[in-house]
Amino acid sequence: LLAQVDSSVGGKTAINHPLGKNMIGAFYQPQLVVCDLATLDTLPVRELSAGLAEIIKYGPIADMDFMGWLEDHMDDLLARDRTALAHAVRRSCEIKAWVVGQDEREAGLRAILNFGHTFGHAIEAGMGYGAWLHGEGVGAGMVMAAELSCRLGLVDDAFVARLKVLVQRAGLPLRGAVLDAADNAGRYLELMRVDKKAEAGEIRFVLIDGPGRACVRAAPDALVREVIDACCAG
């Protein structure tokens, strides 16, 4: 499901490096992408939820009507209702293709597709690839990014709460992983400084600049630490 709604569209081919996720790769557009919904019938539940994370991200960054639809149909998606899955896959691909069509090589706009990924990639690298599925990291990462957006005054508490409920209903973790008991926030910051969106060591986050709109910007380390501590506690 994750491949159908995200990685199959856009032409990015990459492998992981111990220092970061998707750090080595190229852009190579496919001639055709086939999304066979029948393959989802045997998908493990955990993998289904991981794919739903990449579907959920499209609402906050580009289409709040789609987020509302997901809220109304999450139970159908978890039950693998073919009609619901077809709409979710199609709309996700439409949004990603619209973004990629304007910025194939991620020089600007395409970066918004990484909502939740800066925190999520740190979880994957810090825990060791495979401990958390990519979508699980993205799910917790979206909550962390939304919380950071709220603390910067870009969205309100109600939006963050709404996203948290949707992420939880999809069967995804709400809280980020603890990477280092001694200095958890410090370990996150260390890993995020080598994220591909970082510039000269400055971490660039995809934040929600109002529901349905995303931006890429930096944030003070002290504030990021507060968010990490709050979202990894308990």
Distance CA 230, CA 226 (A): 6
Length of the chain, please? 234
Q: CA-CA distances (angstroms) from residue 188 to 2, 137, 178, 227?
A: 24, 13, 9, 11
Please give the helix or strand (H or E) that residue 165 lies within, else none.
helix 157-169
User: Pick from 116, 147, 146: which is nearest to 132 by CA?
Assistant: 116
Position 199 pLDDT exceeds 80: no
Instruction: Quick: pLDDT tens for 97-124.
Output: 999 988 777 778 889 999 999 999 999 9
195 pLDDT tier (thresholds 50, 70, 90): confident
Position 168 scores a pLDDT of: 98
Q: Which of 29-43, 63-77, 161-175, 197-211 has the lowest mean pLDDT?
A: 197-211
Confidence of residue 31 (pLDDT cuts 50, 70, 90): confident
* C-alpha distance from residue 50 to each of 54, 73, 135, 149, 174 (Å): 7, 17, 4, 23, 13
What is the pLDDT averaged over residues 198-206?
86
